[in-house]
Amino acid sequence: MRESWLLLQRNLSDFWKTFRRNQMGLIGAFLVGTALLLAIFAPLLTSISPMETVRTADGRALTFAPPSVHGPLGTDDAGHDIWSQVAFGARISLVVGFLAGFIAMFVGSLLGILAGYFGGWVDTLIMRVTDVLLVIPDLPLMLVLVAAIRQLNLKISPLVILILVIGLLYWTSTARLVRSQVLSIKERQFVARARAIGAGHGHIIRKHILPQIMPLIVANTVLILSTAILIESGLAFLGLGDPTQPSWGTMLNFAFDRNAISNGAWWFYLPPGLAIVWVSLGCVLLGNVLEEMLNPRLTGHHLEGEARVLSASLKSAEESSEEVSHG
Amino acid sequence: MSRRDYLFRKLLLSLVTIFMVLVINFVLFRILPGDPVRAVIGRNVKISAEVQQALREQFGLDKPIFPDQFFNALRQWAQGNLGVSWSLRRPVAEVLMSKLGNTLLLIGLGQVLSIFFGVLLGLFAGWKRKTPFDVGALTFSLIAWATPTFWLGIILLAAGSTWLGLPTGGIVSPENVGKPLYAVLPDLARHLVLPTLTLTILYLGEYMLIMRSSILEVLSEDYILTAKAKGMTNWQVLWRHGLKNAMLPIVTIVALNLGFTVSGAIYIETVFSYDGLGKLFQTALIKQDYPLLQGAFLLLAVSVIVANMLADILYTSLDPRVKAN
């Protein structure tokens, strides 16, 4: 136990040494980190509730006030503080995005492991389902699904419906990735040896396969998060969010429906969109860097000058010999 | 596996997928409230109980849901009978067909422009890897990926209508509605600028990224080194050996992106009040016009699946190396 902890510690510090030098990764971590802080400390960072109406001295609602009149981001058509809505909206957007992303990650990893490890008809079935899901246009499918589920009057929050629909539709890429990794790992010698000394399927998956694919799953999850957050914003923009708990997408739905554009109220429609770009960009940068660190790819090509070509071909020679020794 | 087997499998998969879409459509249609008879004749038409009963029998609604009603629904859909829109009181199929052209025009323009510029910029970015141009191109495509379609549309709408005096929505100005096409062409073009620009900017990034990684892979092949050794210039190598081989993945991506394109059309048509299938879908959703929603879903899903299959066939005839997996 102690040894594995030490190993984990060393791996993490190695990881940090490489990560620290990667600008893209640091920017991504900064973007995601600040958004998380905003969501967590929303009550401390705002002076007024997002549902409270800002009023002028004579008691009238201060509607469509620009940032110069009411700081820092002005008010909307009902006189609600925009900054406060953005800060509290971060909670909704991030919670929905993260939960949906985690469901997708969990379902995708589970099905990917099952397909890759057991093969046969299990594999065929799961892969055909992913093929089918991949081709059906996702937004129309989600819209029809959400509309139908809402009609059932199940008395569950619209946000829960969004989380489930996004989570249960976006697992296909994770499943494919995990499956291909499991396929190559299960052919390695240590798995064959474990099986030879009588280890069961559960043991092999938990002790030998999961630890190997875990880093890749983490990187993939970060990428899925950005998709989930973007999809949530889109569905909310089309009016499928919860109006009583507005996310950034719901804010944009309000801004669009209530003529923020024709009123020139840029402070109403710019901040929520920037926030969405901020988080999804952060997740993409972070996810790409993590994936790159765990899964290095091509480093050069033949039109780049002699020295690089040489080093690239040496490198690819090394890589292929490594592959041979793995196989 | 031979090419014929591969195509056969693709065809089979497409058929299964279409069948799944039909099942989803049928099941959801049963969940949604409202009498299917109403869906066909319209919600506010007054009819007597006897007529209603006669209609129920005619539509087979007195029979079990499976298999009778299911196959009956399939037969109706196959004949292009998608029911009557509750909000528009017109046959759904007719409404859909009247909007199809507008959407194809928008999507087509956006795709052609984004593929053209995406391929060009991606080729250049891959060739000049790690130069400021490449870094700029990568940054652009990352930001484009992380930007919600509808939000970019909102910004371009606000900017274009304020500073360039471009129209804020619709396909032609109200005074031009009903005039022949040649007379409204300049007006139509002005209306198309912003939605097309939004689509192009968003899809450009992805095509650029795909082209960049594809050309990087091609340029590290040995035949590029051979071509270079023969004394060809970089431009010749890039044009004769690079572009052609690197273009292949674009075909698959165009197909795989069709679903994504449909999403884009829904958002962009909503933002720009563009009178196409996407706007129709959003209106049906808001007005809870279920026959229209179901019909639009069926049309969009089946066209994407068929287009995907066609792209697969095209791909195998372009690249003889294609094998299953």
- Percent of all residues in chain B with a pLDDT value above 70, rounded to a whole number: 89
Q: Is A237 touching B (CB cutoff 8 A)?
A: yes
Six token digits for residue A155: 């008395």
Q: Do B305 and A135 touch (CB under 8 A)?
A: yes
* pLDDT score at A323: 41
Q: B267 falls in which pLDDT band (50, 70, 90)? A: very high
3-state secondary structure B21-34: HHHHHHHHHHHCCC
Per-residue pLDDT of B77-125, as tens digits, reads 888 888 788 788 888 889 999 999 899 999 999 999 999 999 999 988 8
Interface test mutation site (partner B, options A136, A142, A153, max chain B beta carbons within 10 A): A136
The whole-angstrom separation of Cα B288 and Cα B274 is: 20
Q: Do B220 and A255 touch (CB under 8 A)?
A: no
Indicate the pTM of the whole model.
Answer: 0.85
Collect all residues of chain B within an 8 Å Cβ-Cβ radius of residue A304: 129
Domain coordinates of chain A in residue numbers?
Answer: 2-53+66-317
* pLDDT score at B61: 66
Residue written as token pair 């993409």: A284
User: DSSP states of A129-189 as a string?
Assistant: HHHHHHHS-HHHHHHHHHHHHHHT-----HHHHHHHHHHHHS-HHHHHHHHHHHHHHTTSH
User: DSSP states of B173-189 as a string?
Assistant: -GGGTTS-HHHHHHHHH
Interface test mutation site (partner A, options B151, B198, B257, max chain A beta carbons within 10 A): B151
Six token digits for residue B322: 């294609």
The residues in A 142-171 lying below 8 A from B, measured between CB atoms, are 143-145, 147-148, 151-152
* Amino acid in position B296: A
Six token digits for residue A312: 């690239």
Per-residue pLDDT of B166-205, as tens digits, reads 887 777 777 777 777 777 788 888 888 899 999 999 888 8
Integer angstrom CA distances of residue A240 from A77, A144, A157, A244, B278: 20, 11, 11, 12, 16
Q: Yes or no: say if B248 and B63 are a contact pair by the CB < 8 Å rule.
A: no
Which stretches of chain A are DSSP H helices? Answer: 2-20, 23-40, 42-45, 82-118, 120-135, 138-151, 158-169, 172-185, 189-196, 201-203, 210-235, 248-257, 266-294, 306-326
- On the question of a cis peptide bond just before residue B132, with omega within 30 degrees of 0, the verdict is no
- Percent of all residues in chain B with a pLDDT value above 90, rounded to a whole number: 18
Q: Name the residue in chain A with its Cα closest to that of B216.
A: A301
Collect all residues of chain A within an 8 Å Cβ-Cβ radius of residue B23: none
Q: Is B273 touching A (CB cutoff 8 A)?
A: no
The whole-angstrom separation of Cα A305 and Cα A309 is: 6
3-state secondary structure B197-218: HHHHHHHHHHHHHHHHHHHHHH
Per-residue pLDDT of B202-219, as tens digits, reads 888 888 988 888 888 888
pLDDT (average), residues B132-149: 90
Q: Is A301 touching B (CB cutoff 8 A)?
A: yes
The whole-angstrom separation of Cα B313 and Cα A147 is: 35
Integer angstrom CA distances of residue A120 from A111, A123, A202, B212, B265: 13, 5, 18, 37, 40
How far does the CA of residue B14 sit from the closest CA of chain A (Å)?
A: 8
Q: Name the residue in chain B with its Cα closest to that of A134.
A: B256
| Comparison of pLDDT for A111 and B220, the residue scoring more | A111
* pLDDT score at B39: 57
Q: Residue B59, Cβ neighbours under 10 Å: how many?
A: 17
SS3 for A55?
strand
* pLDDT score at A13: 80
Nearest 5°: phi and psi at A290?
-60, -45
Domain covering A2-53+66-317, topology: MetI-like fold (1.10.3720)
Mean pLDDT for chain B? 83
Q: Do B282 and A238 touch (CB under 8 A)?
A: yes
Integer angstrom CA distances of residue A273 from A69, A177, A256, A307: 22, 31, 12, 45
Q: Yes or no: say if A133 and A145 are a contact pair by the CB < 8 Å rule.
A: no
Q: Do B155 and A273 touch (CB under 8 A)?
A: yes
The whole-angstrom separation of Cα A219 and Cα A217 is: 5
User: What residue ranges in B141-279 does DSSP mark as E strands?
Assistant: none
User: DSSP states of B84-126 as a string?
Assistant: B-TTT-SBHHHHHHHHHHHHHHHHHHHHHHHHHHHHHHHHHHH
Local structure of residue A54 (DSSP, 8 states): P
Integer angstrom CA distances of residue A249 from A221, A234, A257, B73: 21, 6, 12, 36
Closest Cα partner for B196 from B227, B160, B242, B238? B160
How far does the CA of residue A140 sit from the closest CA of chain B (Å)?
A: 6
* Amino acid in position B168: T
pLDDT at residue B229 is higher than 80? yes
pLDDT (average), residues B32-40: 59
Six token digits for residue B112: 């052609």
How far does the CA of residue B161 sit from the closest CA of chain A (Å)?
A: 9
Q: Do B17 and A132 touch (CB under 8 A)?
A: yes
Q: Yes or no: say if B176 and B169 are a contact pair by the CB < 8 Å rule.
A: no
Instruction: Show pLDDT as tens, one digit a residue, over chain A (327 residues).
Output: 456 666 667 777 877 887 788 888 899 999 999 999 999 998 888 888 888 777 777 877 777 878 877 778 888 887 788 899 999 999 999 999 999 999 999 999 999 999 999 989 999 999 989 988 888 888 999 999 988 888 777 788 899 999 999 999 999 989 998 998 898 888 888 888 888 888 888 888 888 888 888 888 888 899 899 999 999 999 999 999 898 899 999 999 999 998 888 888 898 899 999 999 999 999 999 988 888 777 644 445 666 544 344 344 444 444 444 443 343
